[in-house]
């Protein structure tokens, strides 16, 4: 089988390419140049290709990445939401372009170093739940998933590092990046201040009863559940709402962050709902685990999740992902 592998310059995609080559597949490596800061990743990707003796293609997609991923990320913050750029990038940029490249090169499948599993065209969590990335892949289109292979779905990170070291892969010891790829140092506030300085307009910090208790430094500096930059208080307080209309940040106690019902918009189903109401599990942030809930399918792409126990700090703009027995059923964008 001929497979196009997206090679990032990190150890996961490198080992994915190695495993596919050793399984006898005809493997091509493709690296996307997405920002001016991405030259180091391109150099590492090329070193991996040379080590594995595989064809290497470098595609300059900086302009498309800016319009497709970076600008929507900025716009979401300007609308007082908290976006997840990877959830948007995977279907609309990364796998879109990877599959287009695969088609040009007459490849049957595409692959990446993500930790997830595809079986019979359906998406599941990885064996290594701590590294599972199905949340970030949950908005992929069904036709994209049918083209994908995830070689690391049954591996844990320690195995991947060991394989890379044994095979002498040049990036075997390279640290994993936990950062947003286009934001230097993961300092999203500095990035936003540079790109949209006019959006940082100070305003009131108010409590849940409307009393002014301080001043904020600009709405893009805040997200739901945040404790920093809200001043000192006699009891622990958190950001519970961002009020763009009044340019204010609302703070409250932990109980004000809890809710049993979370609403999603633009829900994309990978498995057609069995009925308008059904039981499943869902999670509303990447680092949490799926929790039991009742799913209600509403008109116009909306979905309501009613959790058995209150969930904490649901943030508009993040993804809400619906699972059953480890399979991703669908995902929408949280609107609260």
- Considering the segment(s) 200-252 as one domain, its CATH architecture is Roll (2.30)
pLDDT in tens, 225-273: 999 999 989 899 999 999 999 999 999 999 999 999 999 999 999 999 9
Top CATH class of 2-184 equals: alpha beta
Read off the tokens for 146.
């049918």
Read off the tokens for 318.
């993040």
Task: Of 93, 96, 101, give the one whose Cα is nearest residue 64.
Answer: 93
What's residue 39's pLDDT? 67
Q: What is the dihedral of CA 62, 69, 125, 258, to 10 degrees?
A: 150
Confirm whether 86 is a catalytic residue.
Answer: no
Please give the model's pTM, rounded to 2 decimal places. Answer: 0.95
Read off the tokens for 208.
């849940």
Confirm whether 89 is a catalytic residue.
Answer: yes
pLDDT in tens, 47-100: 999 999 999 999 999 999 999 999 999 999 999 999 999 999 999 999 999 999
pLDDT in tens, 89-147: 999 999 999 999 999 999 999 999 999 999 999 999 999 899 999 999 999 999 999 99
The active-site residue, picked from 30, 68, 89, 293, is: 89
Domain boundary assignment for the chain: 2-184, 200-252, 258-334
CB atoms within 10 A of CB 220: 22
Top CATH class of 258-334 equals: mainly beta
Task: Of 248, 223, 201, give the one whose Cα is nearest residue 313.
Answer: 223
What's residue 38's pLDDT? 63
């Amino acid at each position: 089988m001929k497979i196009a592998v997206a090679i990032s310059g990190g150890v996961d995609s490198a080992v994915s390419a190695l495993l596919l080559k050793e399984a006898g597949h005809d493997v091509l490596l493709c690296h996307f140049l997405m920002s001016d800061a991405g030259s180091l990743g391109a150099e590492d990707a090329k070193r991996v290709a040379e080590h594995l003796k595989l064809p290497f293609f470098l595609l300059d997609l900086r302009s498309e990445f800016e319009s497709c991923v970076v600008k929507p990320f900025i716009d979401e913050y300007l609308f007082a939401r908290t976006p997840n750029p990877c959830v948007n990038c995977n279907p609309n940029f990364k796998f879109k372009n990877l599959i287009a490249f695969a088609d040009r090169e007459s490849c049957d499948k595409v692959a990446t170093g993500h930790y997830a599993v595809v079986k019979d065209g359906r998406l599941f969590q990885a064996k290594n739940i701590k590294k599972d990335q199905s949340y970030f892949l949950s908005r992929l289109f069904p036709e994209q998933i049918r083209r994908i292979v995830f070689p690391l779905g049954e591996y844990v990170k320690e195995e991947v590092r060991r394989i890379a070291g044994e095979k002498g892969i040049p990036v075997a010891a390279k640290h994993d990046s936990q950062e947003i790829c286009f934001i230097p140092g993961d300092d999203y506030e500095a990035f936003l201040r540079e790109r949209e300085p006019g959006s940082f307009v100070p305003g009131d910090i108010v409590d849940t009863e409307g009393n002014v208790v301080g001043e904020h430094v600009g709405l893009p500096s805040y997200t739901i559940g945040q404790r920093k930059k809200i001043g000192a208080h006699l009891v622990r307080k958190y950001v519970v709402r961002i009020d763009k209309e009044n340019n204010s940040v609302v703070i409250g106690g932990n109980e004000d962050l809890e809710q049993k019902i979370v609403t999603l918009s633009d829900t994309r189903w990978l498995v057609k709902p069995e009925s308008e109401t059904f039981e499943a599990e869902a999670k509303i942030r990447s680092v949490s685990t799926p929790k039991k809930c009742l799913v209600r399918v509403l008109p116009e792409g909306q979905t309501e999740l009613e959790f058995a126990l209150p969930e904490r700090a649901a943030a508009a703009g993040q993804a809400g992902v619906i699972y059953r027995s480890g399979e991703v059923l669908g995902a929408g964008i949280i609107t609260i």
